[in-house]
Amino acid sequence: MFPIEFTRSLQEILPASEAEELCAALEAPSPVSVRYNPYKITDEAPGRAVPWCRYGRYLKERPSFTLDPAFHSGAYYVQEASSMFIGHLYEQAMARIGRNRDAGLRILDLCAAPGGKTTLLATLAGLENIVVANEVIRARAMTLADNVRKWGLGNVVVTNNDPAHFAGLQEYFDVIAVDAPCSGEGMFRKDLQAREQWSPENVRLCAQRQRRILSDIWGSLKPGGILLYSTCTFNRTEDEENIAWLVDQYDCEPIEVELDPAWGIVRSEEAGICTFRFYPHRVEGEGFFAAVLHKADGKVRLRTPKPRRTILVPLPRPAATVVGRWFGQPEHMCFAQAGDNIYGYYGESYPMVKVLSESLSVVYSGVLAGQLFGGKLRPEHPLALFHDLASDSAPSVRLGLEEARQYLRKQEIDVSLLQEGINLVRYGELPLGWIKRIGHRANNMYPKELRIATL
């Protein structure tokens, strides 16, 4: 059962018969979809294609993702299909403004946990650009960082800040995605709590919060930059009315987006800006709303925030050579140290990462490689999951399904399979983590906080 005021509010957006169809769809099971990682899976991925996302696939049923080692290797991300549309908007908008081939782009995903849009944007942006994935709630920022490490591209900086903290980064980002916290009407069939917590008052509070978030962040978008706004709710208060408010408050311009009518997405315009609605009775996905706009071009004042403190220190050449051996293309990387931890960054992005880590509360960035002991690198887990780990960095041990699950549970592995020292554990070709053999013993280095529960 849905709250009565919610069913009534649907009359504002749909004819009565269609509102009934929508309610019926919201009682039906959700489709299952995943988005695969093209940096880790080069073969054609199984499943039926999600029309608006070339890496999206619908699955016939929901498998146990937890028991699938490929899931833990970052080969795919479980993401509902409608929200993958942000990738289409990003690509279309960048092509429209002629910046789809640019390098050095700064993309901010402001409300990023658990990381669906972040991993999508990081994939589409490419390695020569950087995605700042921010999440205001600390525990959720930690989950976001886990998912970023698992995805393993090395072009993401995870931060844990309130939107207001970005005030020091004026006109800094080329793209800002605001996937706003909302009343969640579009998730009613997946998330029963969203149904229980829904009220007209909560819709109003959500809309106010969304406006606060948008006004906090608007100054950080470069003139000429792109704003992607989305919610997973149907009401106009949090969707179109916020877009109209934005146009009223700030200098916004429309961006044209091409759409195949067969996809079933409802496209409209609000205050001249393209908007997109996903209704579960029309598309195979959850309820979703998205809009894309352009900050009117003006003079970009290149302002770099004042550094507060220096955290990252470039690694001296001899040490960088040792660490570089673990990377497929060290010539494209820059290595820096924060305390004992050594991180790898794509060369072009290092100066940006340095500025960001001096202005924001950074939880994770680049690729955590490990620490140096006696001139040797002790590798950390994120390095194993980095997509461009050097193939000869350590001997590999390939495990079958059951043994791979044992490894992920941090259980023992047959020591005779291992060579002395550090070994890379793979499931098929997909790296899962490290294990160290010391004589007749093996030290399973899989992080204990990530281990899967024993059934």
Shortest distance (Å) from residue 140 CB to ligand SAM: 5
- CA-CA distance, 166 to 222, in Å (whole number)? 13
Given the complex with ligand SAM, which of 25 and 113 has the nearer CB atom? 113
- For residue 163, list its beta bridge partners: none
The tokens for 119 are 């991993």
Rounded alpha-carbon distances, angstroms, from residue 75 to 58, 144, 150, 202, 434? 15, 16, 9, 37, 17
- CA-CA distance, 349 to 200, in Å (whole number)? 44
Binding of ligand SAM at residue 209 (CB under 6 A)?
yes
- Please report, as residue ranges, which positions from 212 to 251 form the binding site for ligand SAM (by CB under 6 A): 213
Shortest distance (Å) from residue 160 CB to ligand SAM: 11
Contact track, ligand SAM, 58-97, x by CB under 6 A = -------------------------x--------------
Q: Which residues have C-beta within 8 Å of that of residue 450, sequence separation ≥ 6? A: 72, 146, 381, 408
The tokens for 354 are 């340095």
The terminus-to-terminus CA distance of the chain in angstroms comes to: 34
Catalytic site residue 232? Answer: yes
Given the complex with ligand SAM, which of 51 and 163 has the nearer CB atom? 163
Shortest distance (Å) from residue 423 CB to ligand SAM: 33
Shortest distance (Å) from residue 110 CB to ligand SAM: 6
- CA-CA distance, 39 to 329, in Å (whole number)? 14
Contact track, ligand SAM, 175-204, x by CB under 6 A = ----x-x-----------------------
315 CB neighbour count, 10 Å cutoff:
21
Pair 12, 23: CB distance under 8 Å: no
Count interface residues toward ligand SAM (CB under 6 A): 17
Given the complex with ligand SAM, which of 39 and 77 has the nearer CB atom? 77
The tokens for 432 are 């899962």
- Please report, as residue ranges, which positions from 126 to 145 form the binding site for ligand SAM (by CB under 6 A): 135-137, 140
One-letter amino acid of 285: G
Count Cα atoms within 13 angstroms, Cβ side, for 202.
15
Q: Which residues have C-beta within 8 Å of that of residue 213, sequence separation ≥ 6? A: 110, 111, 163, 178, 180
Q: Which of 31, 163, 280, 382 binds ligand SAM (CB under 6 A)?
A: 163
Catalytic residue, chosen from 111, 206, 232, 334, is 232
Given the complex with ligand SAM, which of 111 and 157 has the nearer CB atom? 111
Given the complex with ligand SAM, which of 238 and 240 has the nearer CB atom? 238
Shortest distance (Å) from residue 213 CB to ligand SAM: 5
Given the complex with ligand SAM, which of 19 and 203 has the nearer CB atom? 203
Shortest distance (Å) from residue 54 CB to ligand SAM: 18
Shortest distance (Å) from residue 201 CB to ligand SAM: 17
Given the complex with ligand SAM, which of 77 and 335 has the nearer CB atom? 77
The reply to whether omega before 114 is within 30° of 0 (cis) is: yes
- CA-CA distance, 235 to 246, in Å (whole number)? 17
Pair 388, 395: CB distance under 8 Å: no
Rounded alpha-carbon distances, angstroms, from residue 193 to 31, 184, 189, 418? 19, 9, 10, 47
Helices (H) and strands (E) in the chain, counts: 13, 23
Shortest distance (Å) from residue 216 CB to ligand SAM: 8
Binding of ligand SAM at residue 353 (CB under 6 A)?
no
- CA-CA distance, 259 to 93, in Å (whole number)? 12
φ/ψ bin of 314: left (φ > 0), alpha (ψ from -120 to 50), beta (otherwise): beta
Given the complex with ligand SAM, which of 93 and 113 has the nearer CB atom? 113
- Please report, as residue ranges, which positions from 93 to 132 form the binding site for ligand SAM (by CB under 6 A): 111-117
56-60 contacts at long range (C-beta below 8 A, 24 or more positions apart): 56/81, 56/84, 57/33, 58/31, 58/32, 58/33, 58/284, 59/32, 59/33, 59/34, 60/32
Catalytically active residues, by annotation? 232
User: Which residues of this chain interact with ligand SAM, rule CB under 6 A?
Assistant: 83, 111-117, 135-137, 140, 163, 179, 181, 209, 213
